[in-house]
Structure 1
Amino acid sequence: MESEGCMKGAWGARQKKTRAQAMVEFALTLPIFLLVVLGIIEFSRLFMTYLAVYTASREAARYGSSVGVAPNGKTHDQDCDGMKQIAVEMGSFAGVQPGDVQIYYESSPGVWKAACGAVKTELGDRVVVEVQGYFQPAVPIDFTSLGIPFRFREVTVRAVSGRTILKDIKLRVTPLPAPSCASDVSIPSWRMVDNKTIEISVKNNSATDTTYKLEAIQNLRWASGSPTINLVSIYWDNEQVFYNAAGIPAPPSPGITIPSTAYPWAPTENRNLYDGQTRKLKLGFDKNISSWKTGDISLQLKFAAVSDPRYQCTISWVYSKP
């Protein structure tokens, strides 16, 4: 029994000794741990301060180099107050004030030209914005009183950004030659088919790769004949661009125009004439026209460039019996 009591006393003393040792170790390591945590927090705040100062200088320089006019009537490169305001707003986390922003121009990187607003900038000049901010540690540290050369108090953070000023550039534009429809489009040949149809070949000789479109058939007229000869259809190659079941009797001078209110194009026609292409314009009548003489039918074809409808021309054709 006496032995048991001795063992319990020794065990209890050992436990107390272990607890005391743990407390001492904790007391020794706690300051180091807190110092590490504090260092991480302070470094993060310092990094955020730097980002705020860098962003302030970058955004102010970007504004000053851009094309535009501020509400005060000044161009962005001359709006010094506007650049400072942007720097102050973007650098608020670092405590940036208007006096912490310096703005000037450079004629080339590293070559001073003038202070902001002092001269009129030219193409190729740069605007440079220097911003200064401040970092205040949550717990200032100063070991100099202990003979240790280390002090962590207020830190000044600086950033510089420069950008080339965008200016209007005068360009001398050489316009492309306008398409000459009158010389591009021609009628190289024609023929009479089955005594009721006249087939006219129309060719695009464009040297500028211009596509033309048949805009209208103007002053179309033909001999009346006896009995009356009626126009019933018009084809552009194999596409029917006009049809009149009743037939159109020979009009008086100067003739009819297609399209018009009375004679519209077909709704789904394609009347393009591509460069180098030859297409057939076919006029279909309801009776024999082989007896026609020179001048018994005539017309004008109006074309316009697809790329720019302002370029137009009209070519004439008159039936000439072989």
Structure 2
Amino acid sequence: MKKLINDPKNVVTEAVAGFAAAHPDLVRVSEDPLFIVRQDAPVAGKVGIVSGGGSGHEPLHGGFVGPGMLHAAVPGPVFTSPTPDPILAATKAVDGGAGVLHIVKNYTGDVLNFETAADLAAADGVEVRSVVVNDDVAVKDSLYTAGRRGVAGTVLVEKIAGAAAERGDSLDQVAAIAERVIGQVRSMGVALTPSVVPHAGEPSFTLEDDEIEIGIGIHGEPGRERIKLEPADAIADRMLEPIVQDLPFASGDKVLLMVNGMGGTPQVELYILFRRAAESLAEQGIDVERSLVGNFTTSLEMQGASITVLKLDDEMAALWDAPVNTAALRWGM
């Protein structure tokens, strides 16, 4: 294992400290319990939005803390859910009197710990709503989940819900738009190589040099099938077909197309995948109105990618376009 780390036990705390040092204009950090919060939180009279989960998926979630998106992010150990205590503390830190929305990826530990934190916050007088993102069409009931996994579509939920909170929507309204995005977004991933969790020191799974895993999870969970490496266009078609069929998407739909890197894939390859996915959608009469390409929901150094498609309505498109100022997404400011 070759990694630019010190003690594996300190990877998350040192990374969060570095993140705070790099972006003092955007965030501040609580060290104990550990969470990242907007520099101006709490924002009086506006809904606060908190997300989080195991580390190793950066820039998710800390990279999306800032005006127009998240108010706080709670990082757990690598690939491990944060406990309720820091989630509760982050929730209280962003409560500006209008309530707090929890955006939770569908992994059993995340769901249970965010639920516990929400109950504790309610006991302290903070109104909390929760939404669970489950956009992965690859498999159901995987190693970490009951039901579908939450993957890169989480970024789209966080951005659109964050814009709704920024414009002053009520807690019920912000939760409703988040649920609407969850209902209209689908994703599928592929792995070319495994990732190495720092404290484990060895690959999370094995692939032969000529093999890929279709439908991989962001923690290295098994996908739909293991096949021989194919050209990029064929892989893009394999990933996109179940996405389009699942909602289903149809001719005349307007969509946001996201191609997300898993951490170890160069941009040139991501754009090759995007080209084919956009071409395929156009052939089906589906109009790509918005796009996002890059590393946004990663799996440490895994080589691979995911494709996410969100069926847009006019309100979602406007909220996507709304100004955002975070370390990982920034426009309109």
* TM-score, length of structure 1 as denominator length: 0.20
Bigger strand share: 1
Bigger helix share: 2
Higher relative contact order structure (alpha carbons within 8 Å, sequence separation ≥ 6):
2
Q: State the structure with more CA Rg.
A: 1
